[in-house]
Structure 1
């Protein structure tokens, strides 16, 4: 299977946290729901199943397993956009939810198609595609995020909502990678712009924003101990998603620190 074919499959399946030590702490009165896209459903980790590619090794199920909330709704789905969250996930959300986590926005901004372009064409084309995504993030995504956050607040007005960021994909820059330095820098720049806009709109909604980049620092693709998958052949959708370590040591600590 060619790299282009592998990356093409990302369009329909991808976007684009507590260590395992220590005793579980019961949160018996908390009703928790994990919303969002593939970075919340657990794509990239082992144990994915169903059409939404949900994994018990995603940060949401890991947190629930260790904290024993009163209930846990795992509604995140691979490939989800803001429209999917509003039209499919929020209608299924328990209106009495006390705690909600979400990653969303990467699919809206065309993250997967950007990666395909950067892998299969020139540095100039990669930069142009990233710039197109940045323009979308600046001009269109804010309204979509605002509508999504408002819908969450309307459905579960008493919930503490934690909006998690996306990690940077590469070190600054990584050496010995298949992609050129120019492409790595462009992709990371696009991710930073996306995270900054997500942070801005989450805080405007009165939600908690949790940054995962520090937790992934030193563990990007091409690092000695990566928390992210590079381009994978089987299964192809794992490409550019956190691996088991990424969810357990990256996303889970970031969520735990913000869950309250």
Structure 2
């Protein structure tokens, strides 16, 4: 309710200011753009839409037209600053993705980051094949990062975001579990037992991220239940298995649709 009240006051102030401009203000219509409500999407490949296809530019970020920020911005009727980029870690978000956060006209912010900081792609590589000890050691390392350094790094990022966009509704977005115990060619010989450990790590990441978000008063969009029955190798997968490219183990366009359905209620007015 506090965030809603703040947004209402911001809009009232904008209307009052516009009314005070009178005829002279109408002549300088170029300034009107500052009142357009805007949505800033921050994060890594799951936020940019890797795996969903139809990428917007050949810039290495793999921002998809099917990604949930694109869909949500269209539903909200807001201008989108689509900053999320494949491979981003928290430090990359801080360095490269915060430039369009503004007081007043930044209405919504989504943040989806942390998996790369925990080294999930490296862990999946270690678990591919038959060396269970290597897999378990990589998972233990990721869990160590998630429980020790990641909370403080996320908290510092969230503080920066809320400082730069104090009037925005800020939503932290989680990631799904990748597996359901099924194996196929796309699961790279990751055993059901190893899949269970990987899912436990995904849960740990989600719970840790949600806790830090709650400390900052942010909503957390948890997509894990939405992807139940749609894991890698399932009958109706919304997550790609190994396909030989960086799109491996990322949500499809259908998966991004599920993200949109999970995220949009937190963003809608």
The answer as to 2:146 corresponding to 1:153 is no
After superposing on structure 2, the runs of 4+ consecutive aligned residues of structure 1 that deviate more than 4 Å are none
Which structure: larger Rg?
Answer: 2
- Give the equivalent residue in structure 2 for 1:187: 198
SS of the residue corresponding to residue 147 of structure 1 reads helix
- Give the equivalent residue in structure 2 for 1:34: 41
Residue 256 of structure 1, aligned match among 245, 264, 269: 264
Change (3 A) 1:119 1:53: same
- Give the equivalent residue in structure 2 for 1:135: 144
Shift of 1:92: 3.5
Shift of 1:152: 0.3
Contact persistence 2:129–2:190 (CA under 8 A): no
- What is the RMSD of the two structures over their aligned residues, measured on CA atoms? 1.5
Higher helix share: 2
SS of the residue corresponding to residue 170 of structure 2 reads strand
- Give the equivalent residue in structure 2 for 1:77: 85
Distance between the aligned counterparts of 1:120 and 1:80, measured in 2? Answer: 26
TM-score by length of 2: 0.81
Contact persistence 2:44–2:112 (CA under 8 A): yes
Shift of 1:124: 1.8
Residue 90 of structure 1, aligned match among 78, 81, 98: 98
Contact persistence 1:123–1:182 (CA under 8 A): no
Contact persistence 2:177–2:202 (CA under 8 A): yes
Alignment of 1:42-61 (within 5 A): 42-48=49-55, 49=57, 50-61=59-70
What is the number of equivalent residue pairs in this alignment?
228
Contact persistence 2:49–2:67 (CA under 8 A): yes
Contact persistence 2:183–2:190 (CA under 8 A): no
SS of the residue corresponding to residue 64 of structure 1 reads helix
Residue 128 of structure 2, aligned match among 88, 113, 119: 119
- Give the equivalent residue in structure 1 for 2:171: 162
Unaligned residue ranges in structure 2 (runs of 5+):
1-34
Residue 217 of structure 1, aligned match among 213, 221, 228: 228
Higher relative contact order (CA 8 A, sep 6+): 1
Shift of 1:51: 2.0
SS of the residue corresponding to residue 64 of structure 2 reads coil
Shift of 1:206: 0.9
The answer as to 2:85 corresponding to 1:105 is no
User: Structure 1 stretch 196-205 or stretch 182-191: which is displaced more?
Assistant: 182-191
Residue 216 of structure 2, aligned match among 205, 208, 227: 205
Shift of 1:230: 0.3
Unaligned residue ranges in structure 1 (runs of 5+):
1-27
Shift of 1:94: 3.5
- Deviations 1:54-107 (CA, angstroms, capped at 9, x unpaired): 1111001012223322x2110111111111111111133334311011111001
- Give the equivalent residue in structure 1 for 2:256: 247
